[in-house]
Amino acid sequence: MATPTGVDTITSISRRILREEATDVYYKGSPFTWRLFKLNRVVRRGGLHIESRFIISPWATGGAFYGPEVLNVEPSDTEISGAWDWKEYYTNVTLDQRSLIRADSEYAVANYVVEQCELAKMDLRDKIAYGVWSDGTNYKAIDGMWEILDTGVYASNYAGLSRSSYPFLKCQVDSATTTLGIGAMNSLWDNCTLGARAPTLTISNRANLTRFENLLQAQVQYTQPTAVVDQTFASGGFSGGWYRNEPWIVDEHMGTAPGGVTVNNPLTFVNENYFELIINQNGDFEVGDFQQPTNQFVITSLIYFAGNLINTNPQLNGKFTALTA
């Protein structure tokens, strides 16, 4: 039974004051997923799966020679291919006729249908953000960071290739350090560096960023030169820190992988140059038409995503696995 708003003169003649903005108290936001969409997003056509080639050895021929020496000109086979499956995510917008009628008021502060569609997209982005940190145990989920940042503990294979046969598919790991220190961080960072190819980003939970900041000397002024100001980082509205002139971000999605692995006190170094967020051109948050079943006054639309996260050089990434303080 409907309950009237007005129970006296004032409440009968006065309108409620309702803010137009809804406050988000649930979704955490994912700065790493934000960066992937901004920096590493690649739209591809369909295919059986996603493939990439790896150069795994130098040519067996060529080099110095003397005078009329007979040269070895045999061909060299130095490449192999890895493959990733397409991963699919969806969310739905379902509206019943009764809600549409009740929301169809000249006093409505928001368009009900538009708001529900935007909330659905927000929810789908959040599910993808958790998928980005999956560990590979759920075959439906994105081949996420804890599968990439692995030595075979969670996933013995990566990109369809054996990690034991191809060590470059293993990340760098510090499993001994329990108390965060600059020396241990520098050592792991250096292990993740080959030539000029060094990590471009540090990702951790809030506790480890605070621990790092507590290690810094209070009397030293740490300023950021213009060259290292990360506009992509700032434009997303995220804050964090800096380490070795590269940004440090906090991502709350990295603590629990969709496969069920709980990662305590995570801290990782990643090289973003070897990540690609592959998105199928027909699965780029595609919104389907609203449809109504024959036996309900309800309309439903599906929002569809198809893609995967791939990394073509896992050895250039690293993680701490034993931090407690």
Q: Is residue 220 part of a domain?
A: yes
Q: Is residue 260 part of a domain?
A: yes
Look up residue 289 and give its two tokens: 């038409």
pLDDT at 269: 96
Q: Is residue 6 part of a domain?
A: no
- Separation of alpha carbons 93 and 173, rounded Å: 43
CATH number at residue 158: 3.90.1690
pLDDT at 101: 85
pLDDT at 11: 59
Q: Is residue 11 part of a domain?
A: no
Computed on alpha carbons and rounded to an integer, the radius of gyration of the chain in Å comes to 26
116: confidence class by pLDDT, cuts 50, 70, 90: confident
Average per-residue pLDDT for the chain: 84
- Separation of alpha carbons 31 and 172, rounded Å: 23
Look up residue 275 and give its two tokens: 């990540």
pLDDT at 236: 46
Bridge partners for 261 per DSSP:
none
Instruction: Please answer whether residues 159 and 82 qualify as being in contact, where contact means their C-beta atoms are separated by less than 8 angstroms.
Output: yes
Higher pLDDT, 73 or 225: 73
Q: Is residue 314 part of a domain?
A: yes
pLDDT at 25: 47
Helices and strands (DSSP H and E) totals, the chain = 8, 14
Residue 162: what residue type? S
pLDDT digits 0-9 by tens, 56-85: 888 888 999 899 999 998 888 888 899 999
Q: Is residue 75 part of a domain?
A: no
Q: What angle do CA 48, 79, 174 make, to 5 degrees?
A: 95
Question: 123 pLDDT exceeds 80?
Answer: yes
Parallel, antiparallel or unpaired: strands 161-162 and 157-158:
antiparallel
Boundaries of domain holding 184: 31-48+80-320
Where do runs of H (alpha helix) occur along the chain? 9-13, 31-39, 97-103, 112-131, 145-148, 182-191, 206-215, 231-235
Into how many domains does the chain fold?
Answer: 1
Higher pLDDT, 186 or 263: 186
Query: Residue 82's closest CA among 257, 260, 276, 273?
Result: 276
Residue 14: what residue type? S
Q: Which of 65-79, 93-107, 143-157 has the lowest mean pLDDT?
A: 93-107
Residue 218: what residue type? A
Q: Is residue 157 part of a domain?
A: yes
pLDDT at 14: 56
Q: Which residues contact 172 (CB under 8 A, 6 or more apart)?
A: 188, 191, 192, 269, 315, 317, 318, 319
Question: 168 pLDDT exceeds 90?
Answer: yes
pLDDT digits 0-9 by tens, 287-323: 888 899 999 999 999 999 999 999 999 999 999 999 9
pLDDT at 227: 43
For 264-284, letters b (16+ CB in 10 Å) and e give ebbbbbbbbebbbbbbbeebe
181: confidence class by pLDDT, cuts 50, 70, 90: very high
- Separation of alpha carbons 35 and 268, rounded Å: 15
pLDDT at 9: 57
DSSP letter for each residue of 77-107: --EEEEEE--EEEEEEEEEEHHHHHHH--TT
The pTM of the full predicted model, rounded to 2 decimals, is 0.82
pLDDT at 5: 62
Instruction: Please answer whether residues 207 and 251 qualify as being in contact, where contact means their C-beta atoms are separated by less than 8 angstroms.
Output: no
Q: Is residue 110 part of a domain?
A: yes
Q: Residue 35 CA to chain centroid, in angstroms?
A: 8
pLDDT digits 0-9 by tens, 129-143: 999 999 888 899 999
pLDDT at 89: 95
Q: Average of pLDDT values for 11-18?
A: 56
Instruction: Please answer whether residues 120 and 91 qualify as being in contact, where contact means their C-beta atoms are separated by less than 8 angstroms.
Output: yes
Q: What percent of the chain has pLDDT over 70?
A: 80
Q: What are phi and psi of 208, to 5 degrees?
A: -75, -30
- Separation of alpha carbons 160 and 182, rounded Å: 36
216: confidence class by pLDDT, cuts 50, 70, 90: confident
118: confidence class by pLDDT, cuts 50, 70, 90: confident
